Chains A and B, each alone.
Chain A
């Protein structure tokens, strides 16, 4: 069974940057579209970004506005999310998820990003 493990979260000052990682196991990582979904404290799920299996195509939510960059290293079964110009409203749990068809069939446990001065 597929397993996803996120890391890289932490406390960041407004305007700072953070690189999140997600390592996949139990799956042929390069075969699947991967995605990031976030959840602000007490709020609902919010899709952030997705990337094709080869990494050649990327997709972003409108609110990203060039601040986030998704990438992957299939040789290491790892997904990344680079978040720049962090804002207080980016405070959230960031989940990594595998996409099959157009649904999210496996999720990691999430990594927490807190943006505060």
Chain B
């Protein structure tokens, strides 16, 4: 089965840039979506189709996808960005959604 691997944790100082990777075989040829989840809350879509942002999501959130790695980038990190982040794809071979293992972003 298709697996999406993320680093368990990323730490970043306020104002700096956080980069969260999502590794998968040839992930660059499929659309990747990213979700932010704060404790006790439902996930929120922050980037879709590799690099697009839903309305209301700050421009500080951006994404890229190529080869075997997709990346979510959070620029000018703020304390409110501290959360768990998950990547997600739809496996069209099996008609199943797949979530990454998740990354906890800590703002120092």
> How many residues does chain A have at the interface if contact means C-beta atoms less than 8 Å apart?
21
Give the interface size bracket for B toward A: 20 to 34
A47-B96, A102-B90 given; A107·B33 CB < 8 A: no
Query: Contact: A103 with B45, CB < 8 Å?
Result: yes
Contacting pair B49 A101 (CB below 8 A): yes
A34 to chain B, nearest CB (A): 12
| Secondary structure of the B contact surface, majority rule | strand
Q: How many A-B residue pairs have CB under 8 A?
A: 62
Kindly state the separation between the CA atoms of A44 and B54 in the bound complex, as whole angstroms.
22
Spell out A's residues near B (CB within 8 Å).
35, 37, 44-47, 50, 59-62, 95, 101-105, 107-110
Besides A102-B89, A104-B33, 12 other CB < 8 A contacts? A44-B100, A45-B35, A45-B88, A45-B102, A101-B48, A101-B49, A102-B33, A102-B90, A103-B88, A105-B45, A107-B43, A109-B42
